[in-house]
Amino acid sequence: MTDVPARDRGHARRIVDALVGRLRTAGIHYAQLHAGTAGRPVCEAAGFVTGSYPSMDLVTAPPAG
C-alpha cells in the first residue's frame, strides 16, 4: 500500500507497469498477484484479471517468432 502523502501520483501504476514489462521481457507469461481492493484498478489497467480468490492473474502471449 502506498503511504497517504504519496498517493495519486502514479507511483503504483509505474511500478506495476515496469514489473509487467520485465516479466514479458523475461519470457514469463503467467503471474499471480494478491492485491487489495485499493490496488485493483491499477492491476486491471496493467492487464490483470480476476482469478482464484483473492488473487488476480496475468497471462500474456509469448512473443511471435
pTM score above 0.85 = no
Pairing of strands 30-34, 49-50: unpaired
Q: Is the pLDDT of residue 55 over 70?
A: no
pLDDT band at residue 48, thresholds of 50, 70 and 90?
confident
Q: Write phi, then psi, for 23 (nearest 5 degrees).
A: -60, -45
What pLDDT digit, counting tens, does each position of 1-29 carry?
Answer: 678 888 889 888 999 999 999 999 999 98
**Domain residue limits, the chain:** 4-59
